[in-house]
Chains A and B, each alone.
Chain A
């Protein structure tokens, strides 16, 4: 093991670490990271048959940085839970063996004690936050450990500084970018002072720039040796630079390898590949060059090392620079041309664009080499945007979710060629998913903006459109509409009129697709019970089987292990070339883009900033920076070679390097040679990207008043497939009714908290609200509730700074309820018989008592609503939580837990819209009548709840990992009741009561319906 830590203690010169060291000392004295030992660890979840981990043994030296690799289901995440004692203390199962952290034995210690030594950072920051603001989140663990408030402030500030977020204390979590969120998650763990940090795919939900931000801080921590880092990650190219060692688990949860990364990625490369494990692109490239006979020296890992090694390889660069050579060296055993895999037109087009002067050096794939004789036109030599039939045409498309909201797309015009793989990339919030959704019809378009196969999508019926365009959502569960795997495929076929009705034909077709996606054995299983990888494959199969000519895929490789991703991508590429289907991928995965996309569309701030071959994109560094993108390893290698070794610019494009190494890149779908498959399919990298819930910078915002305003859940207008812009949200806490749904919503909309009502104690405010509402229920004349209505509006204006107009707008939809009240009273009030009729309409007598009762109840419901709106909009959710704990003395665990549920409210609304759209894309037809509506709602509700419950489980684990509920908490700040609050309570009760008294004395107020 090369993991010799350079220093044992963590006290280094780095400012941030030194700062957090002080924080730690204030918690307890500690000298450095503990040594970790895992001995014969076996764990089986209580409801599973097979163990997740089997006899795992390894050590981690103090300050070592360990990369953990393994295919899906290899128990990586389970291992992280074992390391900090959540297994076996919180999660149940059969546990054997010993996990030792320093002197602590995990199963003999307890979670709060272990949480001080080992911190856990999870994949999706959205699913680990327990509070609403940065300051509260960072303090969360410290409060759980009952650290005194003064210490909390200090430790929090230091933890934030350590992740480069000093001064972010006051920010709402929802205003942060994905990268910032993940760093807050890291800070909230660091604040508790653990010297071992375990990170479970921390970059998986981040866009490229967010991931780079995070890795920069991790690298510094790794170099400081102040912390032991144990990282599960797929983005290896950035990591290899600073990891000390590798731990590889196999599919059964056994240790496959433990030791030096160079040994892992060179000597043991074949085993790792067989296990379906991701490897750094650099090492794959070098190994492949070596196989082809190039004597690349050493075992380079990092991009810099690899560039140097390639430069030192005799003849390699020269041959690249002169001819774009694609095989081995001259004396290589095989002839490059013979061996060169059939390349797809796209790749060649890409390299042509990169090397316009040397098209002759690039072999053109013969049409005949294309299996199945698909009539691919000769590749254009003018770049990837070839003059073929456009599959999709977008004309000057401008889009906003909300008429008053910001533009999400601005003047987008695109021609996307047929039978190509096109990638849409950009930072979170750039409009990628919106564009994809508009193309697939998930979002409504305006006439004349989107054409598919020459037809305006606006003119297509839903049913026709769903047989022309498919859309694979990022969260596969959203699209499941039946109870079995087979049922999903059959459903797709039966929606497709052109396939005929032969059941037999269907069955055979379904079987072949099940087989192709490795789902045959699961044919009768419930879709929800599959693993993530299986779910994703099923959702893609269910789309592909219908044979749409255009397929939109949102982060197709998200959450997949190497082998799953390979399989999926090779099928997609094959479908594109053989079946001439147009693939449009929204992705953050630059490796996927570099190696499989024929064309890339880069969006920056809703506008097209680039449209062309990936090779050209990755050489335009200014553009990449502007677009918030990064260069995949191979591209970085290209530029490094150019810079350091004077290799001629144009010739060392990523495509050239890959070709030189024998990688069949983009579009080469012929899998005639099985031997090729293993290698060919090594290109995928699980996409980073938005989480299922769109957590990027644009995720739904937690706020008490989340989906407020009149936005009906049944009709969420924001249906953005990947949750980029458009997620329903409000700003701040209970506050502003803002819901602009775009990248535009900013901190500017956070209400100023200086109004009288905003400063009042939330619990007392709630008491006043309840008492006022109770008073309202006692009066039955129309005038008193009308007076209350006015009182509420005035109080909102004068004391809360809420314009009566904004309150009225929130309440207005309820007027329709008033209509119902009038109808009911005119028709059914028993007292009508004894009340004089004011108006007789045929058999209907409109009586005085009916009108007066109806008016009373209508004013009452409006007044009810006005008071509650005033309360909601002047109350901060975090303050309410504290007040319920401190003044009302509600159970703190319950209140905190409820707050977490509350954070998910906007998410629920938003996901409901997604599921609806996803079902529509599947061709689920709407039916008339309440029964059909109820059935549809049920179909949406179950996946919605299932997703929410799963997320709840994750947040709970993340809270447990920070010692939640270990004992009485301390609080960073306490909810106070000051004299002014008591005055408010008295006035809040006295004024409405006085109003009633006065009106009663004036003979206006009635306490019964009366006649």
Chain B
């Protein structure tokens, strides 16, 4: 196994479950990427609590986009229905296990953000994974996150509707850039290492060349 990568994978055996479309390799790669993203989530949470702590409310949401990566990078690489939800939720779970200031509430954030991104990919029938798609999905997920947070943290009481709206715009941009563009770059860099051969992302790149 040391020199040879499992290149190319065929459709997995049908088992009747919805993950039947995923090959084992896709499942495990998605899991590993999600876990890695979970560590990023957790690290970003620490920064959020320290380095970014002094950034006031609506402006701080310009940094939230990083937390969308799970729901973007994983579907960008795997390109299967459910990948965005799985990626974001598993990453959130990992950040919870690593001890996060959001505890189990982060699972809900993960679910909501993942579902928002998933909606965009589903809307495009899981066929289009361009930079624009990732940016739109990131923006969607970002907006979903601020909506959820408004309930969790009482923004609607503590802040004016205008500043929440500014926050929503900022988080959408952040989701598009820190989430979408970063995921795109990371996915492409990984393809460059040759380790993703056989997965949808490298098959597509080969076709377009």
Interface residues of A (CB under 8 A from B): 45-48, 52, 72-73, 77-78, 88-93, 110-112, 122-124, 127, 200-201, 204, 483, 526, 528-529, 531-533, 559, 704-709, 712-714, 734, 766, 769-770, 772-774, 776-777, 780, 810-811, 813-814, 816-817, 819-821, 823-825, 827-831, 853, 857, 861, 863-869, 871-872, 891-894, 896-902, 904-905, 908-909, 941-957, 959-960, 964-968, 1008-1010
Shortest CB–CB separation between residue B83 and chain A, in angstroms?
11
Does B169 have its Cβ within 8 Å of any Cβ on chain A? no
Contact with A along B15-31 (1 / 0, CB 8 A): 10111101111011111
Does B174 have its Cβ within 8 Å of any Cβ on chain A? no
Q: Are B9 and A92 in contact (CB under 8 A)?
A: yes
Given known pairs A814-B99, A1009-B158, the reply for A949 and B24 (CB within 8 Å) is no
Contact among A707, A713, A814, A824 with B57 in the assembled complex (CB-CB below 8 Å)? A824
Residues of B93-111 whose CB lies within 8 A of A: 94, 96-105, 107-108
Instruction: List the A side residues contacting B129 at CB < 8 Å.
Output: none
Does B208 have its Cβ within 8 Å of any Cβ on chain A? no
Shortest CB–CB separation between residue A532 and chain B, in angstroms?
5
Instruction: List the B side residues contacting A112 at CB < 8 Å.
Output: 13
Given known pairs A73-B3, A953-B5, the reply for A898 and B193 (CB within 8 Å) is no
Instruction: List the B side residues contacting A127 at CB < 8 Å.
Output: 1
Q: Are A72 and B1 in contact (CB under 8 A)?
A: no
Q: Which 7 A-B pairs have the closest CB atoms?
A: A901-B31, A864-B103, A820-B53, A92-B8, A817-B49, A897-B27, A528-B193
User: Besides A942-B186, A946-B190, 15 other CB < 8 A contacts?
Assistant: A45-B7, A47-B8, A91-B7, A110-B13, A529-B193, A811-B99, A819-B53, A824-B53, A824-B56, A893-B15, A897-B31, A900-B31, A941-B36, A956-B6, A968-B15
Contact among B19, B49, B197 with A894 in the assembled complex (CB-CB below 8 Å)? B19
Contact among A712, A714, A830, A950 with B158 in the assembled complex (CB-CB below 8 Å)? A830
Q: Are A868 and B103 in contact (CB under 8 A)?
A: yes
Question: How far is it, in angstroms, between the C-alpha of A713 and the C-alpha of B56 when the chains are bound?
Answer: 26
Question: How far is it, in angstroms, between the C-alpha of A770 and the C-alpha of B154 when the chains are bound?
Answer: 19
Secondary structure class of chain B's binding surface, majority of residues: helix
Instruction: List the A side residues contacting B6 at CB < 8 Å.
Output: 90-91, 953-954, 956-957
Given known pairs A965-B24, A1009-B154, the reply for A526 and B15 (CB within 8 Å) is no
Most buried by A among B17, B42, B49, B99: B99
Residues of B78-128 whose CB lies within 8 A of A: 86, 90, 94, 96-105, 107-108
Contact with A along B152-163 (1 / 0, CB 8 A): 111001111001
Q: Are A905 and B35 in contact (CB under 8 A)?
A: yes
Q: Are B103 and A817 in contact (CB under 8 A)?
A: no
Q: Are A894 and B13 in contact (CB under 8 A)?
A: no
Instruction: List the B side residues contacting A774 at CB < 8 Å.
Output: 105, 108
Instruction: List the B side residues contacting A533 at CB < 8 Å.
Output: 3
Q: Are A77 and B1 in contact (CB under 8 A)?
A: yes
Q: Are B35 and A904 in contact (CB under 8 A)?
A: yes
Does B32 have its Cβ within 8 Å of any Cβ on chain A? yes
Shortest CB–CB separation between residue B202 and chain A, in angstroms?
7
Shortest CB–CB separation between residue B154 and chain A, in angstroms?
5
Least CB separation from B31: chain A residue: A901
Does B34 have its Cβ within 8 Å of any Cβ on chain A? yes
Does B10 have its Cβ within 8 Å of any Cβ on chain A? yes
Contact with A along B168-209 (1 / 0, CB 8 A): 000000000000000000100110111111100010001000
Q: Are A46 and B198 in contact (CB under 8 A)?
A: yes
Given known pairs A90-B6, A952-B31, the reply for A898 and B90 (CB within 8 Å) is yes
Given known pairs A47-B206, A713-B39, the reply for A773 and B25 (CB within 8 Å) is no
Provide 26 A-B residue pairs closer than 8 Å at the C-beta atoms, listed in order of the A residue: A46-B198, A77-B4, A90-B24, A123-B2, A529-B194, A707-B39, A772-B104, A774-B105, A774-B108, A816-B53, A817-B48, A821-B53, A828-B57, A831-B157, A868-B99, A872-B97, A899-B31, A900-B32, A901-B90, A941-B36, A950-B5, A952-B25, A953-B25, A957-B1, A964-B24, A1008-B157
Contact among A110, A706, A819, A952 with B29 in the assembled complex (CB-CB below 8 Å)? A952
Total CB contacts across the A-B interface at under 8 A: 303
Q: Are B4 and A712 in contact (CB under 8 A)?
A: no
Question: How far is it, in angstroms, between the C-alpha of A810 and the C-alpha of B96 when the chains are bound?
Answer: 12
Contact among A93, A891, A960, A967 with B8 in the assembled complex (CB-CB below 8 Å)? A93
Instruction: List the A side residues contacting B43 at CB < 8 Å.
Output: 712-714
Secondary structure class of chain A's binding surface, majority of residues: helix
Given known pairs A945-B186, A957-B1, A965-B15, the reply for A46 and B27 (CB within 8 Å) is no
Question: How far is it, in angstroms, between the C-alpha of A97 and the C-alpha of B93 when the chains are bound?
Answer: 47
Q: Which range contains the number of B residues in contact with the other chain?
A: 35 or more
Does B132 have its Cβ within 8 Å of any Cβ on chain A? no
Least CB separation from B185: chain A residue: A938
Q: Are A828 and B56 in contact (CB under 8 A)?
A: yes
Question: How far is it, in angstroms, between the C-alpha of A909 and the C-alpha of B40 when the chains are bound?
Answer: 11
Given known pairs A713-B42, A823-B54, the reply for A829 and B193 (CB within 8 Å) is no
Contact among B49, B50, B104 with A864 in the assembled complex (CB-CB below 8 Å)? B104
Instruction: List the A side residues contacting B165 at CB < 8 Å.
Output: none
Question: How far is it, in angstroms, between the C-alpha of A971 and the C-alpha of B207 when the chains are bound?
Answer: 42
Shortest CB–CB separation between residue B32 and chain A, in angstroms?
4
Q: Are A948 and B36 in contact (CB under 8 A)?
A: yes
Q: Are A908 and B35 in contact (CB under 8 A)?
A: yes
Q: Are B97 and A946 in contact (CB under 8 A)?
A: no
Shortest CB–CB separation between residue A799 and chain B, in angstroms?
17
Shortest CB–CB separation between residue A477 and chain B, in angstroms?
8
Given known pairs A773-B103, A828-B56, the reply for A949 and B33 (CB within 8 Å) is yes
Given known pairs A864-B104, A865-B103, the reply for A902 and B1 (CB within 8 Å) is no
Question: How far is it, in angstroms, between the C-alpha of A856 and the C-alpha of B170 when the chains are bound?
Answer: 26
Instruction: List the A side residues contacting B5 at CB < 8 Å.
Output: 45, 950, 953
Given known pairs A948-B36, A952-B25, the reply for A893 and B104 (CB within 8 Å) is no
Given known pairs A864-B105, A945-B36, the reply for A965 and B12 (CB within 8 Å) is yes
Given known pairs A708-B98, A1009-B157, the reply for A47 and B13 (CB within 8 Å) is no
Most buried by B among A77, A204, A866, A945: A945
Q: Are B28 and A952 in contact (CB under 8 A)?
A: yes
Least CB separation from A710: chain B residue: B99
Q: Are A47 and B7 in contact (CB under 8 A)?
A: yes
Least CB separation from A953: chain B residue: B6
Least CB separation from A75: chain B residue: B4
Shortest CB–CB separation between residue B43 and chain A, in angstroms?
5
Contact with A along B51-78 (1 / 0, CB 8 A): 0111011000000000000000000000
Question: How far is it, in angstroms, between the C-alpha of A89 and the C-alpha of B159 when the chains are bound?
Answer: 58
Question: How far is it, in angstroms, between the C-alpha of A947 and the C-alpha of B196 when the chains are bound?
Answer: 11
Shortest CB–CB separation between residue A112 and chain B, in angstroms?
8
Shortest CB–CB separation between residue B44 and chain A, in angstroms?
11
Q: Are A92 and B97 in contact (CB under 8 A)?
A: no
Q: Are B2 and A945 in contact (CB under 8 A)?
A: no
Given known pairs A201-B2, A830-B158, the reply for A817 and B36 (CB within 8 Å) is no
Q: Are A869 and B99 in contact (CB under 8 A)?
A: yes
Q: Are A864 and B27 in contact (CB under 8 A)?
A: no
Instruction: List the A side residues contacting B57 at CB < 8 Å.
Output: 824, 828
Q: Are A893 and B22 in contact (CB under 8 A)?
A: yes
Q: Are B3 and A897 in contact (CB under 8 A)?
A: no
Shortest CB–CB separation between residue A716 and chain B, in angstroms?
11
Contact among B1, B34, B186 with A954 in the assembled complex (CB-CB below 8 Å)? B1
Instruction: List the A side residues contacting B48 at CB < 8 Å.
Output: 817, 820
Most buried by A among B13, B90, B97, B206: B97
